[in-house]
Amino acid sequence: MNDSDNIKTDYEYSRDTYYDLINKGKQSLDLMIEVARESEHPRAFEVLATMIKNVSDVNDRLMDLNKKNKDINQKEPSNKPQAQIENQQNNIFLGSTAELQKLLQQTNAIDVTPKT
């Protein structure tokens, strides 16, 4: 196995693990909601709040995993040519206003009229 295969295998394993944790967390939340409702004990509600936070954290980790996988895949060299800039806006001139006026007064100044 090469590094690319290892990365893909690890990603899929981690993703499956996160899905499993999220599903078990949801089932546990449903049970804990019933326990908290039945007992009306403050500690039960505290545990429920902690469980909600934990399931939320696992969801965030799943999204981070996807972002990391995307970043890794983008860093791998590809044979695709890089995209060319078709439209460039918000150009900045770094100089004085006098230099800008001289540039604009030149006969070979760039035409800045928008194309329609």
Q: Are 45 and 36 in contact (CB under 8 A)?
A: yes
The single residue listed with the structure tokens 């800008």 is: 100
Q: In this structure, what token pair is assigned to residue 49?
A: 């709040």
Give the number of other CB atoms < 10 A from CB of residue 99.
11
3-state SS class at 47: helix
Q: Are 22 and 59 in contact (CB under 8 A)?
A: yes
Instruction: Please report the pLDDT score of residue 98 as a whole number.
Output: 83
Asked whether residue 82 is assigned to any structural domain, the reply reads no
Mean pLDDT of 18-33: 94
Question: Based on the structure, what is the number of domains in the chain?
Answer: 1
Structure-derived torsion over alpha carbons of residues 33, 36, 42, 48, reported in degrees to the nearest 10:
-20
Asked whether residue 8 is assigned to any structural domain, the reply reads yes
Domain that holds residue 53: 3-75
Asked whether residue 97 is assigned to any structural domain, the reply reads no
Q: What is the pTM of this model?
A: 0.58
For residue 8, the domain's CATH number is: 1.10.287
Percent of the chain with pLDDT over 70: 79
Per residue in 42-96, pLDDT tens? Answer: 999 999 999 999 999 999 999 999 999 998 888 755 555 566 667 767 767 678 8
CA distance to 27, 32, 80, 85, 99, per residue, from 60 (Å): 18, 22, 32, 34, 52
Q: In this structure, what token pair is assigned to residue 80?
A: 């695709």
Using left for φ > 0, alpha for ψ between -120 and 50, and beta otherwise, residue 90 falls in left
- Which one has a higher pLDDT value, 109 or 45? 45
Q: Is pLDDT at 33 greater than 90 in this prediction?
A: yes
